[in-house]
């Protein structure tokens, strides 16, 4: 009981302190972190149909970063809607943030690509070949309701909201395209009901692809964007239907394995594209639905806190967690965390979610198993991840570059979060009912992230409070090992 009383004192004192930034990390004196230079080198303006469109080349090889055609599932193509939509969303966010007209022009050319890749059935083809023809029959390109169609919908919805204020004619074209997709979405989210089972876990059949929560979270973000432009009961109902499916895929609690995470598909959680917290926080704030926000908070406080304290992971099957994989780690696994936490801050105004978002983003700047930057702010290159050998893959293609930039642009509205991008975890400790990690920045500033495994509360201690906490706890602690997770 004495241990709890002492810890409670630290937490109470922490609440009385206004967070202060170290002058060594004054954002006004640091160079910009977001650079579009490499993304522009990956991009090419071509003619597709009757339009001038921008494509982003899928792969670029170190050291000269020449373009490489995608051949992961046969010869696919040199660029795709999946990455074009990502780039379009990035430029739209940059325009909304800064008012940069160049970003708006770029966004429009990426949206033109999407418009010209739409098939007669309303879905989208994915790949553009090196001769600038459309790949209409490849397994990863055909006109189906898959990741690329969902991401295209998100970009169109975001673009509609932005261009409705500055180019109503173009906005009308975007909405016409959206309306052609909606019957597919209605069929996916409205007609199927009930659950099927896998390894004893229920999977909602009404989610996209009959049970994929990861794809459905992306779709839910797009529907929320569209609802913000054109609020109506049908959109709200579709959002809630998907939200109910996502929340049915949530497992455990903040104090019980697997700690409130959302299964991605089946019984597997994976980091990449797992945007359920972002989707639920964004939709919950938009619809004033506190159940959605609370569900997002459960994953953030229960599961995200453990990732930040114990280290990132790639994936594991909750039905057999002993087969967990740590690698490879990629920016596409970090961005959903950052975006989810910033959306939670917008929904709750809890400052600790912003700090957590900064610590999640620090993976890009060396707080990772390789101890090296995975995003180079001077060139704008997002490197292609960290492999099992704990080395950075210096290739830098579209997905990694755009996902890194999307993570950072989420934080640009919050300049006092920037210092947390430069912290690195130096130890992870378990001591009694507490697990915690010690972080240091280049000027040796201290931060301690503490999780109480009994009451589920996570807290961030800085400065003198962090120092006092460590002096009291360190002698009785032991380093976290693999048993920490499972």
Mean of pLDDT over the chain: 90
**What pLDDT score does 191 carry?**
65
168-223 confidence digits (pLDDT tens): 999 999 999 999 999 999 887 766 788 999 999 999 999 998 899 999 999 999 99
pLDDT at 435 over 60: yes
Query: Mean per-residue pLDDT for 320-325?
Result: 90
Cis before 328? omega within 30: yes
For 4, list phi and psi in degrees, rounded to 5.
-70, -40
Q: Residue 42: which of 63, 78, 67 has the closest Cα?
A: 67
Query: Domain locations in the chain?
Result: 1-30+423-486, 36-421
pLDDT for position 1: 31
**Percent composition of the chain: helix, strand, coil (DSSP 3-state, to 5):** 50, 20, 30
Mean pLDDT to the nearest integer, 120-148 = 95
Question: Do residues 171 and 179 lie in contact, with contact meaning Cβ atoms separated by under 8 Å?
Answer: no
What pLDDT was estimated at residue 472? 80
Closest by CA position to 220, among listed 157, 159, 171 = 157
pTM of the model: 0.91
Q: Are strands 375-376 and 381-382 parallel, antiparallel or unpaired?
A: antiparallel
The pLDDT confidence band at residue 70, using thresholds 50, 70 and 90, is confident
Q: Given this model, what pLDDT does residue 474 score?
A: 61
Tell me phi and psi for residue 329, to 5 degrees.
-110, 135
> Looking at 189-306, which runs of residues are DSSP E strands?
195-198, 201-204, 268-270
Looking at residue 73, what is its pLDDT?
A: 66
Q: Answer yes or no: is pLDDT of 480 > 50.
A: no
Report whether pLDDT(481) > 80.
Answer: no
How much is the pLDDT for 14?
33
Residue with the bigger pLDDT between 429 and 49: it is: 429
Mean pLDDT of 106-117: 98
Under DSSP, is residue 48 helix (H, G, I), strand (E, B) or coil?
strand
All residues at 6 or more sequence positions from 260 whose CB lies less than 8 Å from its CB, including other chains:
250, 251, 252, 253, 254, 298, 299, 301, 302, 303
Res. 437: pLDDT tops 80:
yes
Q: Give the whole-angstrom CA distance, residue 279 versus residue 284.
A: 8
Average pLDDT over residues 226-249: 96
What tokens were used for 406?
Answer: 């999307």
For the domain 36-421, what is the CATH code?
1.50.10.10
- Which of 10-14, 29-33, 35-39, 441-445 has the weakest average pLDDT? 10-14
Mean pLDDT of the 223-249 span = 96
Facing residues of 203 across strands? 196
Per residue in 250-295, pLDDT (tens digit) is: 999 999 999 999 999 999 999 999 999 999 999 999 999 999 999 9
Across 109-120, average pLDDT: 97
Q: Is the pLDDT of residue 400 over 70?
A: yes
Q: What percent of the chain has pLDDT over 70?
A: 90
CA distance 36 to 213: 31
Q: How many CB atoms lie within 10 A of CB 228?
A: 15
- Rounded Cα distance, 437 and 308, in Å: 8
Peptide bond into 258 cis (omega under 30): yes
Residues 354-369 have pLDDT tens digits of 999 999 999 999 999 9
Task: Give the pLDDT of residue 473.
Answer: 72
Burial of 231: CB neighbours in 10 Å, binned 0-12, 13-18, 19+:
exposed
């Amino acid at each position: 009981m004495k241990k709890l009383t002492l810890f409670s004192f630290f937490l109470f004192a922490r609440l009385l302190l206004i967070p202060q930034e170290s002058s060594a990390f004054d954002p006004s004196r640091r160079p910009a972190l977001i650079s579009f230079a490499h993304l522009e080198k990956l991009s090419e303006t071509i003619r597709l149909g009757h339009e001038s469109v921008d494509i982003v080349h899928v792969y670029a090889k170190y050291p000269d970063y020449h373009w490489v055609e995608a051949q992961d599932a046969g010869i696919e193509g040199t660029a795709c809607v999946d990455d074009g939509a990502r780039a379009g969303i990035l430029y739209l966010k940059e325009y909304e943030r800064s008012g940069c007209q160049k970003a708006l022009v770029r966004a429009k050319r990426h949206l033109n690509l999407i418009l010209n890749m739409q098939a007669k059935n309303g879905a989208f083809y994915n790949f553009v070949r090196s001769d600038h023809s459309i790949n209409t029959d490849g397994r990863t390109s055909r006109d189906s309701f898959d990741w690329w169609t969902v991401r295209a919908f998100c970009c169109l919805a975001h673009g509609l909201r932005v261009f409705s204020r500055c180019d109503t004619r173009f906005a009308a074209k975007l909405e016409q395209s959206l309306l052609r997709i909606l019957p597919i979405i209605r069929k996916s989210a409205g007609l199927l009901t009930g659950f099927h089972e896998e390894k004893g876990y229920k999977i909602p059949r009404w989610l996209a692809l009959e049970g994929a929560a990861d794809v459905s979270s992306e779709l839910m973000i797009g529907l929320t964007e569209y609802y913000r432009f054109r609020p109506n009961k049908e959109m709200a109902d579709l959002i809630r239907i998907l939200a109910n499916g996502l929340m049915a895929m949530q497992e455990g609690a903040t104090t019980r394995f697997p700690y409130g995470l959302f299964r991605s598909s089946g019984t597997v959680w994976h980091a990449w594209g797992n945007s359920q917290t972002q989707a639920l926080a964004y939709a919950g704030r938009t619809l004033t639905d506190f159940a959605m926000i609370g569900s997002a908070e459960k994953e953030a406080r229960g599961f995200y806190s453990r990732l930040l304290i114990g280290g990132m992971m790639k994936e594991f099957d909750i039905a057999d967690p002993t087969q967990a994989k740590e690698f490879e780690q990629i920016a596409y696994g970090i961005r959903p965390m950052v975006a989810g936490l910033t959306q939670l801050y917008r929904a709750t105004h809890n400052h600790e979610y912003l700090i957590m978002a900064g610590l999640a983003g620090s993976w890009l700047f060396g707080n990772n198993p390789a101890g090296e930057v995975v995003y180079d702010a001077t060139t704008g290159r997002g490197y292609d991840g960290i492999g099992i050998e704990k080395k950075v893959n210096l290739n830098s293609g579209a997905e990694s570059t755009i996902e890194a930039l999307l993570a950072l642009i989420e934080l640009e509205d919050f300049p006092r979060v920037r210092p947390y991008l430069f912290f690195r975890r130096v130890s992870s400790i378990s001591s009694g009912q507490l697990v915690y990690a010690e972080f240091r920045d280049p000027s040796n500033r201290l931060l301690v992230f503490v999780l109480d495994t009994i009451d589920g509360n996570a807290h961030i201690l800085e400065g003198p409070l962090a120092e006092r906490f460590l002096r009291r706890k360190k002698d009785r602690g032991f380093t976290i090992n693999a048993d920490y997770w499972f």
